[in-house]
Amino acid sequence: MPTLPKRLLIALAVLAALLAAWLGFAAWYDHHQRANERPATYSALIEQAGRGEISSITFANGTGHALAADGSRYRVVMPVTDDLLKELRAHAVAISFEEGPGGLMAQTVGVLDRAAPFVVVALLIGGLLMSGGQFFGMGRATRVRPEDTNTVFADVAGVDEAKEELRETVQFLKDPRRFAMAGARVPKGILLVGPPGTGKTMLAKAAAGEAGVPFFAASGSDFVEMFVGLGAARVRSLFKTARANAPCILFIDEIDALAGKRGESTSHSEREQTLNQLLVEMDGIVEGGEVVVIAATNRSEMLDPAVLRPGRFDRHIHVSLPDVAGREAILGVHAGRLTLAPDVCTRTVARGTPGFSGAELANLTNEAALSAARQGRVVVTMADYEAAKDRVLMGTERRSLALTAHERRLIAVHEAGHALVSLRCPQADPIHKATIIPRGGALGMVVRLPEGDRVSVSRAKLMADIAVAMAGRAAEEMAFGPDHVTTGAEADFRAATDLARRMVTAWGMSEEIGFVAHAAAEPGARSERTAWRIDEEVRRITDEGMEHARRLLRSNREALDGIAQALLERETLSGGEIAELADREQERATEAA
């Protein structure tokens, strides 16, 4: 809901006060007038009129208000008839009538009732004029003054390459003449592209803090309206405000809501008019001060090509998920406000959180602090970080869930199958933890964490992941028989099928289908025969993964039973404990043989 401008609110308050004062005066005046009127009878009033003592009379709602020649006032309840009027006229009494309740109060209410529509229109027009085009939210943006910008590049970790690209913009804002003397033109439009939570907004704010210039922040959705012309007016107002405060940084978050491709089915005239106004402002047709526009998006492919051409957003900076060194730096920034125990190692936490964004790492740190606070401590330990990681990755514990002994054993066997196959596949990621404590939507879980950040994945690694996914169902079959398997492997099958399908349709890892990309094909773009062959290849790969899992479990049956029993007893096992159990059971089986 847009807020009204302060000056308009003051004007409305003054108008309301004046109206209340006038209504109060009208009510007092009417009461004073009525208080001076003396009640009289019908016959007495006719007698006075016959003696010439009544000069005028006003009729309203069956009541006559008479004025005597000496200034006295009388109030008489009397019907208005033709005979009465003839008699009053015969005695030279002036006669008048009022519609509805008489008096100043009634007249005021009538005037206000008739003037209300014109007052509302006047207020709207006045609001537009007084707010400089900011009524209905036009041009609204959060402004941060240079002295209030506390964020600098040192506060943003894990995105060193992006910071280096922005340093040139900072130098331009500090000393634009240096670049002008060399005949250089620094890009006025910078597009930050990256997954959610990677720090794009913080980067833009830090650039303003480093340069010591005002920072204006708006969202692409702020300019989207159903009324034609409002969005374009907002863009004009925003850029006008930014130029008046130049040099400055104008940040537009989620710009894809404003600058999406034209001609799409969801496009309409208001959206296109707003986008056209943005393009005009970016072109610099309206001259002004040094304004650097920084925009952020998670989906650059959704932007209109006209926005991305040189001269507008001509510099694209990719803000990727941080690597292990970046995650360690980010954890150091967020942990700086905590009191850490000596056993906390941010490097270890960083290695155990691959794929986490900066926002997710901030949430992890906060969850660790909450874990310490719940136990009445102010010092955050490594155990708090582990508990926070379990909570983030697996969800909250559901210890209140009632499970039978058979269900607990079935879950333990299922998770033991995942853990054992993952342990025996050299290409699989190392096991971090296995648990049969229900968390979130899962009854149990095996968490695997890669040792490093991968930029590509081999076919052997993908086949190992499929085998690990199939191992839960394979273990159930081995321990309880094919007729007693459960629905617990639904998510495993979904994950394995998704991997297999991408291997076939996107990554060219099927000799039958060949090196053809089918993943991005439109519905109906491939023939029925090709679709059938793809389904057959997906089935072949998942079956191959299932057979691999069964072979490993058959050759390590004692280890499977030992891990399942340990899970029933302790509920949670670390990766090291699982490896130790598997090796010990394997040695026992070898000795027995």
How is residue 54 written in tokens?
A: 């009544």
* Closest of 590, 152, 157, 492 to residue 335, by C-alpha: 157
31 annotated among ligand-binding-site residues: no
198 annotated among ligand-binding-site residues: yes
Element (H, E) at 261: none
329/349 Cα distance (integer angstroms): 11
Give the Å distances, CA to CA, from 118 to 15, 29, 111, 123: 14, 27, 11, 9
196 annotated among ligand-binding-site residues: yes
**Cα–chain-centroid distance for residue 110?**
49
195 annotated among ligand-binding-site residues: yes
548 annotated among ligand-binding-site residues: no
Name the catalytic one among 210, 281, 415, 476.
415
**Cα–chain-centroid distance for residue 527?**
40
484 annotated among ligand-binding-site residues: no
* Closest of 572, 455, 456 to residue 509, by C-alpha: 456
492 annotated among ligand-binding-site residues: yes
514 annotated among ligand-binding-site residues: no
430 annotated among ligand-binding-site residues: no
Q: What is the DSSP string of 191-225?
A: EEE--TTSSHHHHHHHHHHHHT--EEEEEGGGG--
How is residue 97 written in tokens?
A: 């009538």
415 is catalytic: yes
Contact in structure between 196 and 359 (CB atoms under 8 Å):
yes
365/354 Cα distance (integer angstroms): 15
Give the Å distances, CA to CA, from 480 to 396, 409, 473: 29, 10, 10
**Cα–chain-centroid distance for residue 335?**
25
Contact in structure between 313 and 189 (CB atoms under 8 Å):
yes
Rg from Cα positions in the chain? 40
Which parts are annotated binding residues for ATP? 194-201
Active site residues: 415
Which parts are annotated binding residues? 194-201, 414, 418, 492
Which parts are annotated binding residues for Zn(2+)? 414, 418, 492
